[in-house]
Structure formats: C-alpha cells, structure tokens
Chain A
Amino acid sequence: MLIERKWKKWLNFHLPMTVFILFTLFPFYWMAITAFRPDGELYRTWRQPNASPLWTLEPTLEHLKGLMQTTAFPQWMWNTMLIAIVSTLISLVCGMFAGYALARLKFRGSEFLGTAIFITYLVPQTLLFIPLADIIRDMKLGNTPWALMLTYPTILIPFCTWLLMGYFKTIPKELEECARIDGATRFGAMVRIIFPVAIPGILSAGIFAFTLSWNEFIYALVFMSSAELKTVPVGVVSELIRGDIFFWGQLMAGALLGSVPVAIVYSFFVEYYVTGLTGSVKG
C-alpha cells in the first residue's frame, strides 16, 4: 500500500514537476552556457566528434569582456535602470490614487471610468507607438530618457490602477471609517492607514511595472536612436546583430546580465508578491 502510494506520488507529482522545471529553466541554462562558451565551440556543428552541446569544457569570460569593452553595455544598464525606476514610481503614485478613488469613492461614472482604464490597457503597444511617436516629436522629447519615462506609464498606470483597485477593495472599509472617527481626514486615513496596509499590493504592482518597463522593446526601439541612450533589450539586439552576423556569446552575456536585476527584485519581494496577488488582509 505504502509502496503504491510512493509510486503514485512520483508519477503524479515529481515527474510532471521535473518536466515543468526543465521546460522553464532550459532557456536560462542555454543562455548562461552560451555566454561562457568560447566561439570555437559555439560555431561548430554538433555532429562533430567531442561536441558537447549541453556543457562547455573551456569556459571563458571573453564574451563578458567584449560586451563591456566594445559596446556601451554599462551605460545601457544604467539607462534601463533609471527609466524603469522613474516610470515605475510615476505609475505607482498615479495608480495608488486612481485605484483608491475607483475602489472607494462613489461618483458619477466611476464604474465606467474603471472599465475605460482597463480597456486602454488592452490597446496593443504596437498600435499605440505610432501616435505616441508623433507626440514625442512635437514635444521634442525624442532621443531623451524622458521619451520613455513618460510613455511607459501609458501602459503601466492602467495596470497599476487595476491591480491596486482590486487590492484596496479587499481592505475592510471600517478601517478608514474608524480612522476618520479617530480624527483623520479621508486623505489622512488613506495615507496613514490604507496605504501602509496595502504595501503587499503596492509592492507587487511596483515589481510588475518595473519588470514590464525593464523588458520593454518597441517604444525603446522607436524613441531612442543614439547608441549610448539605448536600453538593454534594444541595445543588445541592435548593436550585437550586425547584418546577418549574430554575436551569440555577447548577446547571451548581455541577456544574462540584463536579467539579473529583475531576478533580484523578484526573489527579494517574492513573499510580498504572492500575498499581493492573492490579496486579503485580516483585521
């Protein structure tokens, strides 16, 4: 009986779990191994004797070095970081106030407004960048970090607003009613009571917004033209693919370094992130 159970657990849990983990982690593994593989191994056919596609016997830092020295990669990292942080902050502040208003204040058309904000989130960026490019040009912001810091919130604010509205709705109304009886204004109750209680939700909205702007490609490609102003996703692709030549080693080294900050942000806040998405506060 016990043996049968073990066998079942293996079949129903461990096996699918292993397949799933291999499936999700393999691209990362491939990226990492390519970043450290010497060119000699990279551009060799697998049918050759001694080929080891899944492992390298002579790891090298040559690609990392090349990336740092021949491209503006450190500058790209800095650009991406700055743009992601500023646009996340702008979106969070707007999203917190808008989400609170939609969740708590009763005003004419509040439900319609909520839906309308959600619909703007559904407009694909591939359509939106055309009018936005016009606006950016008119405001003479092209090829400056502001072009991205101000356009990313167009996708991030609807997202943050919706996530936070949902979170604010799970916080009991009595908390702020009590604060208002205790002597706080509505604004005071929001800032002193509701926002601190909503920190898990605010953090998860922030992490999500940060990741989205870190990985954003189209706007960054369209609005930035000088090499030293580019973000990591655009810089790596535009500078390391020349014609039909792919500098695979440097490309993957760039991708690897570029994913580090996001990985750190996620692992640092993972606990908050989960409670943020599942919501709920107990009084």
Chain B
Amino acid sequence: MANVTIKNLNKNYENGFHAVKDVNLEIRDKEFMVLVGPSGCGKTTTLRMVAGLEEITSGQIRIGENVVNDLPPMDRNIAMVFQNYALYPHKSVFQNMAFGLQMRKYPPEEIRKRVQEAAEILGIEALLERKPRQLSGGQRQRVAVGRAIVRHPEVFLFDEPLSNLDAKLRVQMRVELKRLHERLETTAIYVTHDQVEAMTLGDRVVVMKDGWVQQVGEPLGLYGKPANKFVAGFIGSPSMNFVDVTLNGGWVEAKGLRLKAPARIAAMSGRQLTLGVRPEALRIANGGDPAERCLDSAVDVVEPLGNEILLNFRVGAVPMVARVDPGVRVKAHENIRLAVDPERMHFFEQGSENAL
C-alpha cells in the first residue's frame, strides 16, 4: 500500500494546449481521492499521467517512495478501470482477469485462486466462462473492477467508471465501490465529472477547472466552505444561487433584494460582491422571521419531486431556486416570502471570485 505524491505537475500538449497546471496533491495511504470537474478540466490527464499513459511535461509523481516519472505503466504497480471497461473482447471473463497475472508470470494455481477470490467478492463467479459481449453493462463493470483487484496493486485508478451505466445501476455500483474500497484498503484515485459521485465516494475531493486545482478537501468541507465561486456552484445540486450585490451600510442590496449583512462582512461597505445562497438554505418565511432576513418574489415554476419541492423564482432578473419541504403548498405565479439564514450566506469577490 502506498501514498501518491504529485508535485508541480504540468502537461503541455504539442499543439500548445496546457491541460494540467502546477498540480500539487498528496494522496494518503488507503485514501479514496476523487478528482472532479467539468470536461476538459485536466482531471483525466492527471490520472493518465499517474498511470504512465501520458508523458509528464514537468513536475514529479511519486508512488510510495519511488519517483515514477519515467517508469512504464507496467512497472508502477497500479491498476486502472476505464470508462468503456476496455475488456479484451476475444478473451473470456476468467482470461480477462487472469491476463495481468499471467503477464507477471504468476503460477497457474495462484492465478486461479486470486481470480476466484475476486469473482466471489464481486459476485461474478457464474460468468467466468463468458465473453464480454455476453455480459450486461453492470456485469462488464464488475469484470473491469475484478481485473483490477486480482493484481493487488498499490494504487487503483478509476477513470469515470460509472458513466456508461444507467442511473439506477450507477447508484448501486457507487455503493459497491465504496464497500469494496473499505474492504481492500487500497489507495484509490477516482476521476468523475459527477459531483454526487465525488461527494459520496471520496474521503477527500479535488475540484479542478481549466487545469488548475480549485480546492482540495473533505466532501462536507467543500460543501460548507467553498474556496471560490466555481467550487460553490459545482458542488451541490441544484447548484448555488448567485446574485451580484452591493454592500451598502449594513445592507446587502440588489434589484429586488435587501438583506441585513452578516457581521463578518458588514465592514466592507461600498464593495461589489456576489452573494451565494444554496437552494436548501432558503425556506418559506414564517411570522417569526424579521423582514431584514427575507426576500420577496413570485414563483415561476414549481417542481414537486416528492421528497422535496423546487421553487423557481427571480430576484430582479436573476433566476433562482429554492428547495423547500414537500409539505409546502405553493402554486405558480403566487407571491412568496423566503427566509435566508445569515450564517448560510456565501460572499465572493467579483474579480477573483474567491470566497470571503
């Protein structure tokens, strides 16, 4: 088992595209680290550089104590699960799982034992003789994971392994992966563009954008204290509402909105800021809420989801969403008053977009 250290990692493609910019990460032993970000943010490139499938432009990658910059993939003692599973179509499930061990010249009994063991963990013993084309998407996924775990590698690399599955299966496999990680206790690096996957699977999460690391932290840390506007908008669903505001005396003002500024920023009077409020931080006001913590609007669209209701409304021209109790009875075009907890208001600088 091993930790993975990434220092000042950069990737420049020949066409001049700078895909990964000065990435520094310390992935601890046995940790499940998730890289998340929109497509083109450099997360997959980073993972492929750890795997040795992509050359490193500058920087250093260490697995355990070894600098692996110039090691070929086969000598890094890693295993990778690909988005399209990459099962060898001409080999049976058993042969697929055994291939890595055969290449490393393990004795046949040992191979059989390990494949059997992995197949039991994943519940695919009955499929060992089948060819990949005879398997469903979820079964292929399991075989791909099985192929990774038979090798007992130091690090698991996952490249969006669940994104080819349908929504229901994805939730199920997510739980299984988490359970598997707890059982195997191997360092894992997992790439996804789905923030829900990132939040549920990761011990820690790295949010990336345009090749830069935006923030590294535990899932709830990212949710509660986003470092900038991008992370705030990316983590959480529906995403955070943003309104450009002016601080005026002790008040946060925008068209259609006037709230009392929380004490921590009240001193910045006159500054232009962006206010961020999560949909779940808004609730229908009751009589006890003072007007200085409330905003008034009219509902555009009501989305009843069963366990919650999403209310779409506008503040000035800015569309916003509130996530309220399923018991609330509101119709479209009705006027509502929503209360905001000052502790749950986020403020961002307008130029740098950094959190205050």
Cβ of B72 < 8 Å from any Cβ of A? Answer: yes
The stretch among B83-91, B120-128, B188-196, B334-342 that forms the contact with chain A is B83-91
Let me know if B103 and A283 touch, CB within 8 A.
no
- Cβ contacts under 8 Å, B79 to chain A: 181
Cβ of B99 < 8 Å from any Cβ of A? Answer: yes
Given A174-B82, A174-B84: A283 touches B90 (CB 8 Å cut-off) = no
- Cβ contacts under 8 Å, B76 to chain A: 181
Let me know if B51 and A197 touch, CB within 8 A.
no
Residue from A172, A180, A197 within 8 A of B53 (CB atoms): A180
Given A172-B84, A174-B82, A283-B87: A181 touches B51 (CB 8 Å cut-off) = yes
Let me know if A182 and B99 touch, CB within 8 A.
yes
Let me know if A283 and B85 touch, CB within 8 A.
yes
Among residues of A, the one whose C-beta sits closest to the C-beta of B140 is A283
Cβ of A185 < 8 Å from any Cβ of B? Answer: yes
Cβ of A207 < 8 Å from any Cβ of B? Answer: no
- Cβ contacts under 8 Å, B90 to chain A: 196-197, 199
Given A179-B99, A182-B100: A172 touches B74 (CB 8 Å cut-off) = no
Residue from B86, B88, B147 within 8 A of A177 (CB atoms): B86
Residues of B within 8 A of A (CB-CB), count: 28
Cβ of B73 < 8 Å from any Cβ of A? Answer: yes
Cβ of B168 < 8 Å from any Cβ of A? Answer: no
- Cβ contacts under 8 Å, B225 to chain A: none
A283 to B84, CA, bound (A): 7
Cβ of A175 < 8 Å from any Cβ of B? Answer: yes
- Cβ contacts under 8 Å, B83 to chain A: 174
Cβ of B276 < 8 Å from any Cβ of A? Answer: no
Interface of A is mostly: helix
| Contact code string B155-182 (vs A, CB < 8 Å = 1, else 0) | 0000000000000000000000000000
- Cβ contacts under 8 Å, A172 to chain B: 84, 86
Cβ of A265 < 8 Å from any Cβ of B? Answer: no
A283 to B137, CA, bound (A): 10
Given A188-B103, A282-B133, A283-B132: A180 touches B74 (CB 8 Å cut-off) = yes
Cβ of A90 < 8 Å from any Cβ of B? Answer: no
Chain A residues 169 to 204 lying within 8 A of chain B, measured CB to CB, are: 172, 174-175, 177-185, 188, 193, 196-197, 199
Given A188-B103, A282-B133: A181 touches B74 (CB 8 Å cut-off) = yes
**Counting chain B CB atoms within 10 Å of each CB, which of A180, A199, A281 scores highest?**
A180
Interface size class of A (residues with CB under 8 A): 20 to 34
B221 CB, nearest partner CB in chain A, Å? 32
| Contact code string A220-260 (vs B, CB < 8 Å = 1, else 0) | 00000000000000000000000000000000000000000
A242 CB, nearest partner CB in chain B, Å? 54
- Cβ contacts under 8 Å, A180 to chain B: 53, 72-74
Residue from A174, A181, A188 within 8 A of B78 (CB atoms): A181
- Cβ contacts under 8 Å, B86 to chain A: 172, 174-175, 177-178, 283
Let me know if B100 and A193 touch, CB within 8 A.
no
Residue from A179, A183, A283 within 8 A of B104 (CB atoms): A183
Let me know if B103 and A184 touch, CB within 8 A.
yes
Let me know if B82 and A178 touch, CB within 8 A.
yes
Among residues of A, the one whose C-beta sits closest to the C-beta of B51 is A181
- Cβ contacts under 8 Å, A185 to chain B: 72, 74
- Cβ contacts under 8 Å, B103 to chain A: 182-184, 188
Chain B residues 45 to 81 lying within 8 A of chain A, measured CB to CB, are: 51-53, 72-74, 76, 78-80
A183 to B99, CA, bound (A): 9
Residue from B53, B88, B133, B147 within 8 A of A175 (CB atoms): B88
**Counting chain B CB atoms within 10 Å of each CB, which of A181, A199, A281 scores highest?**
A181
- Cβ contacts under 8 Å, B73 to chain A: 177, 180-181
A283 to B72, CA, bound (A): 24
A174 to B80, CA, bound (A): 10
A282 to B136, CA, bound (A): 12
Among residues of B, the one whose C-beta sits closest to the C-beta of A283 is B84
- Cβ contacts under 8 Å, A196 to chain B: 90
Among residues of B, the one whose C-beta sits closest to the C-beta of A193 is B88
A184 to B91, CA, bound (A): 16
- Cβ contacts under 8 Å, A193 to chain B: 88
A181 to B88, CA, bound (A): 13
A281 to B80, CA, bound (A): 21
- Cβ contacts under 8 Å, A182 to chain B: 74, 99-100, 103, 147, 151
Let me know if A283 and B80 touch, CB within 8 A.
no
Enumerate chain B interface residues (CB-CB to A < 8 A): 51-53, 72-74, 76, 78-80, 82-90, 99-100, 103-104, 132-133, 140, 147, 151
Can you identify 14 A-B contacts, CB atoms within 8 angstroms?
A: A172-B84, A175-B86, A177-B82, A180-B72, A180-B73, A181-B74, A181-B78, A181-B79, A181-B80, A182-B103, A183-B104, A196-B90, A281-B89, A282-B133
User: 5 closest Cβ contacts across the A-B interface?
Assistant: A183-B103, A182-B100, A174-B86, A178-B86, A174-B82
